[in-house]
Amino acid sequence: MHLMDQTKQHGMTNSNSRRYYLHRKIRNFGAVVHSRQRLVEMEDKLFRFPTALLSTYLYKLNKLNYNIQSTIMLPEIKVQQNQVVKFVQKEDLIEKFKYVNSRLQILEKASLEIKVETEEQLTIAENNTKEIVQLRKEVDNTRKLMKAPYADIVKMVDGYCKIIDDSFERMKIRFTSQITDYKTIQQAALKAEKEAKVKEIEKLEAVKQEEADKIKRIEAQLIARIYGGVYVKRDGSQQSLAGCSKSSDCDDLLKWMNEFVPDISLFVHFSVLYEDMVIDVKKKLAAHRANLYNIEITNAPSLKKLAMQSINEARVTAVQDQQITSQTVDRLIEKDVKKEIRIIDNEISSAGKGVRNVLTFEVVDELLVTRDFLSVDETKVMNYLNANKEQIKQSVATGKDLVPGIRFFIDSNYVAR
């Protein structure tokens, strides 16, 4: 009985009563309708369903946790009057193919034990092969019949969604194409800008290196003036100094430093480092003066020896401090350069974010492609075989190859029918 007939039987002839009955039916099975317009469309379809089919349909929606959305509507399922649609379960399949499975086990065992050496064994093997072919056909036909109602729905849903997905893909390609073009141009512009900035950075690095070398030369000269030794001048020549041998020499050197040592304002990039270096050198000069003074005023050999030992240790420490200063300024320069380059690289990377550069290929001239990258077109070979069967058979009989590199032969196989 159709749902419309059932509502008439219960005295519900108007559309509101029918709708109420239908809505109650839907709610009982946990389905949800989000659009009144879609619900009206559903009514026209569902009122033509047999009662059993409606219940089964709603049961499926609930079991698979489906919601009837306003954008999705299943097609009308055409069935005969009073036909009950039953959704196939695994138990149904086992029962449906019960006989096939029983024969399958017997034939499996026979196939493992068969050995054709007599006419009787040949007959058995041929009969079993024919039965296998027939059973396979029956299984395949049953499979098609059982899945047909679902296959039609799947095909319809897949086809409709494919249309939507193709539309999305076309739109995506349009958007991503423009995005890629813009990002590629932007990235190329930033790379060109990077080249210009790198040149500026190289110039700045040269200026910083010159300032750092100046600090190194000044420190080396001051240490040589204190302890004696050799330092390298700006022009590359070496200058040898005797150093301070008396405490009064240290006083004279301090006056010279206050008058001739460059002011801190001349150092733009490493002013703090330069200031710390000058202060440290003055401390070394004061300590050296104290040791010299102790040597001058004392008559005790042990005290003089101790003062000389302090001077030698201070000289070694001063050389080590020069190396530390040199390494420090070199690291600062390298750090600044890397920082600037990293900032530019980050900008370029950000501009190209989301754009994948995939290494691929295209064939521009097939004649130039080496054999290492070629493969035989089996479709063309089969077309040649079908078009020249008699000639190929003669070549097989005589053992001659018609096509260089390809051997045609007769492969014998029993065809079961």
Token pair belonging to 387? 């078009």
Please indicate, yes or no, if residue 81 is contained in any of the structural domains.
no
Residues 233 and 156 in one domain: no
Residues 221 and 114 in one domain: no
Residues 247 and 346 in one domain: yes
Q: DSSP characters for 267-290?
A: -SSSHHHHHHHHHHHHHHHHHHHH
Residues 339 and 367 in one domain: no
Residues 168 and 94 in one domain: yes
Residues 237 and 341 in one domain: yes
- What was the pLDDT predicted at 315? 85
Residues 308 and 178 in one domain: no
Please indicate, yes or no, if residue 275 is contained in any of the structural domains.
yes
Which range of residues forms the domain containing residue 328? Answer: 206-351
**Rounded CA gap, 319 and 147, in Å?**
91
Residues 174 and 38 in one domain: no
Last residue of a domain, one of 148, 182, 216: 182
- What was the pLDDT predicted at 379? 92
- What was the pLDDT predicted at 71? 30
- What was the pLDDT predicted at 382? 92
**Rounded CA gap, 328 and 323, in Å?**
9
- What was the pLDDT predicted at 58? 55
Please indicate, yes or no, if residue 80 is contained in any of the structural domains.
no
Query: Do 64 and 39 form a contact (C-beta atoms < 8 A)?
Result: no
Q: DSSP characters for 14-82?
A: SHHHHHHHHHHHHHHTT--B--HHHHHHHHHHHTTSBHHHHHHHHHHHHHTT--B-TT--PPPPP--TT
Please indicate, yes or no, if residue 14 is contained in any of the structural domains.
yes
Block means of pLDDT (10 residues each) for the chain, 417 residues, are 45 53 55 51 58 55 40 38 58 85 90 89 87 88 80 80 87 84 77 76 80 87 88 85 88 90 87 88 90 84 84 86 82 76 72 66 84 89 90 86 87 70
Residues 313 and 231 in one domain: yes
Residues 102 and 171 in one domain: yes
Query: Do 156 and 150 form a contact (C-beta atoms < 8 A)?
Result: no
- What was the pLDDT predicted at 383? 92
Please indicate, yes or no, if residue 74 is contained in any of the structural domains.
no
Query: Do 32 and 14 form a contact (C-beta atoms < 8 A)?
Result: no
Please indicate, yes or no, if residue 79 is contained in any of the structural domains.
no
Sequence length of the chain is 417
Domain count across the chain: 4
Nearest to 229 by CA among 314, 328, 291, 306: 314
Residues 238 and 372 in one domain: no
Residues 171 and 98 in one domain: yes
Please indicate, yes or no, if residue 68 is contained in any of the structural domains.
no
Last residue of a domain, one of 136, 167, 182: 182
Last residue of a domain, one of 321, 351, 381: 351
